[in-house]
Structure 1
Amino acid sequence: MYKNYNMNQVILPLDFEMKLAEKDIAFSIHHLVESIPEEAFAPFYKATGCPSYHPKMMLKIILCGYTQSIFSGRRMEDLTKDSVRMMWLAQGYEPSYRTINRFRVHPQMQELLKQCFIQFRCRLIEEKCIDQQAIFIDGTKIEANANKFTFVWKKSVENYQASMIEKSNALYEQLVEERILPAIQKEQDDALSSEELEQVASTLEEVIDDYTEKLEASSDSSERKQLRAAREGNNRRLAINTHWEEQKKMIQATLSEAKTGAIYRKRKIDVEPVFGFLKANLGFTRFSLRGKSKVRNEIGLALMATNLRKYAKRG
């Protein structure tokens, strides 16, 4: 026996919200964006021309794409056509990838992301998910959107091989004339004569004989050890940075307190894994935009997507 399956049966369209799970991440994205003040969306309003998509809807679908490890505008456009979650957030609209990418790099996107983080933090405090005891700072490196191919094409090498060899030879001759030969001449000028070498050798013998006499006359084991090391030339020089030592003592004293020690222990579970989640779980290891302002927008979207994923999976 099979369940009823008939492709010729007419099915009326229902609200996509009914198909989402109770704690789906789309609801977290929806409530977060709706909590942003309306004043933050005012710069996106245009009184003339074709009516544009609402910035709330655009921000929702971009955040949803990032939470699903989708960072391409074309892929986000495809999701608005076949993803129940995206179709509900977009309410049936299907913005093109050009529209999505233009909105993502909009100059006012920074203010929207700022409001996102403010509202998200306020919600976490209200729900007692976080407190305001301390602020942690951490950093990581993410690959830029530069040329992936670090090798040079064979044709380019063949075309420029002759000029490269000529430039290399000219550079070698220049280095020999300007640096290598003067350095050799300087070493020859600074070389000691045979009389000077004999004087140095006699001085060293006198120093060694002096240490030997002191070593034989001493009965203290520690002193004999020091004299032996000095005679053999194994003594080491120690430099102590007093300022650094004071800083270490201060930090150790601070961390030895129960309150600060408990806060520092949270760093290993609350702070340091964040970038691991960003790269390993979210898959954000490379920027897809270029330019400092655009990169700020994208890293803000990626970090907010990481926060939303953790928030949606809370117990």
Structure 2
Amino acid sequence: MFKNYTINQTTLPLDMDQFISETDVVFAVHSLVEAIPQKLFHQLEQPLGRPAYHPKMMLKVILYAYTQKVFSGRRIEFLLEDSYRMRWLANHEQISYRTINRFRRQETTAQLLAEAFVLFRRQLITNQVIENEAIFIDGTKIEADARKFSFVWRKSTNRYETMLDKKSEQFYQKLYEEEILPCLKEEGQSDGLTSGQLDGIACQLEADIYETEEQLAGEKEKEKQRYLKKKRRIYKKYLRKVQKDFLPRKRKYDQYNQIFGERNSFSKTDTDATFMRMKDDYMKNGQLKPGYNLQIATENQYVLAYDLFSNPTDTKTLNPFLDSFLEQHKELPNYIVADAGYGSEENYMYIHDILHKTPLITYGGYYRETKKKYKDNPFIVENWLYLEEQDEYICPAHRPVSFKRYSRRKDKGGFVRDFKVYECEDCRECPVRSQCTRATSGKNRQILVNNSWRYFKAECKKKLLDETTGTIYRRRKIEVEPVFGHLKAHLAFHRFHLRGKLGAKIDVGLALMALNLRKLGKHMERKALSKEKTETILIIIVKIVSVFYK
């Protein structure tokens, strides 16, 4: 005997959510999107045209697809037909992959996603899943959706543009000497011609060609005709040189310089991407590949905020990332925790003096300075004796190194550092000169002391040696590093799937929120299982008690 099997017969219940477990991640996706304020969706509504799919439905469908490691628009479209969870979220609508991809690229989607992160963090704080005491910041580089060999380098562009300027300058001087062109450059302008000036040369040559053709049409003498034809050929040759060579190249270099901004490279297929050195180098040759620097802030392994940067180094990304976190969430926890890649005087000063928060960030030589070898080295300035009243140091040869002057230096980003310069009185016959300094024989040993940087280093050591703040810092490795592992290993997100900084930011935002929802789903499963076990144990205890105490 077999159970009845008739697939063409209508059966009850028809509600698909009856077949889904209460702890399934699909309900976490549904609850999160439903919690977004309605006014945000009303702002996206268009009064004209065909009614669009509701943004709630689109966001739910894409978010759930990302939790299932599905990132392609075509595969999401297929999942809508194949998965009853997706059909339940989409209310049985069949959405085209083009509609899915268009929705993922819109700026309004980025706004909805940002609001989703704010709501998610607020719910975590309300339910005491996170303590909101600190945020743990780290970054990783992810490859862009761009061709690997589509690079444009600033140095190469500048070199070729300089060569072009030299050739165009020679070309202009030749035409000016032949009295074909008037003076187009101002006095003192020695560099090459601009694209506007080249365009003016082309217009002048076209006018000369037109005038020559008019003269040729009214000329009867053979000798003058030959002269005018030769003149026209020369003008056309010069015009082709400008229009086919100089002007297109100059416009291209102008466009490149505009795209560069403060960067040193970009990709032709994704101009927002910068060439960076990736850790997971599958080519095994150390080549630079186009990518973005992803920065995230986490607590309890939940991603609370994220941002993308074109700068490959982490040091210059911390302050703008904290600004974006503050703008999005309207508040910052008391402790900002990050590794030594973020340790700089500028970052310490910004967090401490402007944000009024506590940085728990090591600096480059922190662990080296804790070694006995470093502390016992007599040639390191930090180990020299300092006489405060005389404002001088005592070098290893027991000679005074006195204060000479103040110095101020500015880095590429515009940050100013103040130094005090100390110089030894006489190093000529010092027995340890070769070990103490690399200066030439005629110069004395000079040292630069940055008291502001020393203060922040001392504060950093004090905070990390403290039991409370030291415990918070030691949580960094288990707070933020596993998130990148889950993103790349469990979710298989190794490369962006959308081009442009906006598209890449939406893409990785969906992936990070998918990680949060997967983690929340596992948390709900464990909670339900624990509750079920507790109820089972209570039932067994009640039965035992009822047996023994009848």
TM-score under structure 2 length normalisation: 0.40
Contact 2:117–2:513, Cα closer than 8 Å, also in 1:
yes
Mapped to 1, the partners of 2:98 and 2:66 lie a distance apart of 17
Of the structure 1 ranges 26-35 and 78-87, higher mean CA displacement relative to structure 2 is found in 78-87
1:271-282 to 2 correspondence within 5 Å? 271-282=480-491
Say if 1:24 and 1:312, in contact at 8 Å, map to a contact too.
Answer: yes
- Which residue of the partner structure matches residue 195 of structure 2? none
Partner of 1:251: 460
Partner of 1:50: 50
Cα distance in 2 between the residues matched to 1:267 and 1:4: 57
1:279–1:285 Cα contact (<8 Å) kept: yes
Partner of 1:28: 28
2:104 and 2:512 map into 1 onto residues whose CA distance is 15
Q: Which has the higher strand share?
A: 2
Percentage of pairs with the same residue: 50
Equivalent residue runs for 1:68-217 within 5 Å: 68-147=68-147
Q: Is the 8 A contact 1:57 1:89 kept in 2?
A: yes
Please report how far the alpha carbon of residue 94 of structure 1 lies from its aligned counterpart in structure 2 after TM superposition: 1.1
After TM superposition, the structure 1 stretch with the greater mean CA deviation from structure 2, 64-73 or 42-51, is: 42-51
Matched to 1:277, the amino acid is H
Is 1:307 paired with 2:516?
yes
SS for the counterpart of 1:140 is: strand
- Segments of structure 2 that go 5 or more residues without pairing to the other structure are 151-396, 398-430, 439-445, 527-550
1:285 match: 494
Secondary structure of the structure 2 residue equivalent to 1:98: helix
Q: How far off is 1:50 after superposition?
A: 1.3
The CA distance in 2 between the partners of 1:282 and 1:236, in whole Å, is 53
CA contact (8 A) 1:20 1:84 kept: no
* Count of residues paired in the alignment: 238
TM-superposed CA distance for 1:91, in Å, is: 1.0
1:241 Cα deviation after fit: 7.2
Q: Given that residues 289 and 298 in structure 1 are in contact (C-alpha distance below 8 angstroms), is that contact kept between their aligned partners in structure 2?
A: yes
| 8 Å contact from structure 1 (residues 255, 261) kept in 2 | yes
1:60·1:89 contact (CA, 8 Å) conserved in 2? yes
- Say whether the 8 Å CA contact 2:81–2:87 is kept in structure 1: yes
Describe the superposition over 1:198-232 as per-residue Cα deviations: whole angstroms up to 9, x where unpaired. xxxxxxxxxxxxxxxxxxxxxxxxx9xxxxxx79x
CA distance in 1, matches of 2:98, 2:82: 18
Name the amino acid aligned to 1:29.
V
2:364 aligns with none
Q: What is the CA-CA distance between 1:114 and the residue it aligns to?
A: 1.1
Residue 265 to residue 2, structure 1, CA distance change in 2 (3 Å): farther
Alignment CA distance shift 1:27-1:240 (3 Å): farther
CA RMSD of aligned residues (A): 2.7
1:174 corresponds in structure 2 to: none
Once the two structures are superposed, what CA deviation does each residue of 1:212-258 show, in whole Å capped at 9, x if it has no partner? Answer: xxxxxxxxxxx9xxxxxx79x98464998754665443212101112
Alpha-carbon deviations, 1:169-188, whole Å to 9, x = none? xxxxxxxxxxxxxxxxxxxx
Pairwise CA distance, 1:263: 1.2
Q: Please name the residue that 1:171 is paired with.
A: none
Shift of 1:70: 0.6
What residue identity is the alignment partner of 1:126? T
In the alignment, the residues of structure 2 paired with residue 76 and residue 240 of structure 1 have an alpha-carbon distance, to the nearest angstrom, of 62
Residue 5 of structure 1 and its aligned partner are, at CA, apart by: 3.0
Deviation at 1:276, TM superposition (A): 1.1
SS in 1 for 2:107: coil
User: How far apart are the structure 2 equivalents of 1:85 and 1:234?
Assistant: 74
How many angstroms does 1:40 deviate by?
Answer: 1.2
Contact 2:136 2:479 in 1 (8 A): no
1-structure distance, mates of 2:496, 2:145: 5
With the length of structure 1 as denominator, give the TM-score of the two structures.
0.69
More helix by share: 1
- Secondary structure class of the residue paired with 2:143: coil
Partner residue of 1:264 out of 473, 481, 496: 473
Distance in structure 2 (CA, Å) of the matches to 1:278 and 1:297:
15
Question: Any conservation in 2 of the 1:34–1:56 contact (CA below 8 Å)?
Answer: yes
Structure 2 Cα separation of the partners of residues 102 and 126 of structure 1: 35
Distance 1:307 1:235 in 2: 55
What is residue 320 of structure 2 aligned with on the other side?
none
CA distance in 2, matches of 1:129, 1:10: 44
Q: Deviations over 1:43-86 (max 9, x none)?
A: 32122221111100000001001111111111111111110111
Instruction: Tell me the amino acid that sits aligned with residue 52 of structure 1.
Output: A
Counterpart-to-counterpart distance in 2, 1:112 and 1:39: 11
Aligned partners of 2:66 and 2:511 also within 8 Å: yes
Q: Given that residues 43 and 108 in structure 1 are in contact (C-alpha distance below 8 angstroms), is that contact kept between their aligned partners in structure 2? A: no
Question: Which residue identity lines up with residue 42 of structure 1 in the other structure?
Answer: H
Amino acid at match of 2:477: K
What is residue 192 of structure 1 aligned with on the other side? none
Name the amino acid aligned to 1:291. Answer: G
Determine the C-alpha separation between the residues in 1 that align with 2:502 and 2:447. Answer: 44
Change (3 A) 1:262 1:98: same
> Structure 2 CA distance, aligned partners of 1:268 and 1:241?
34
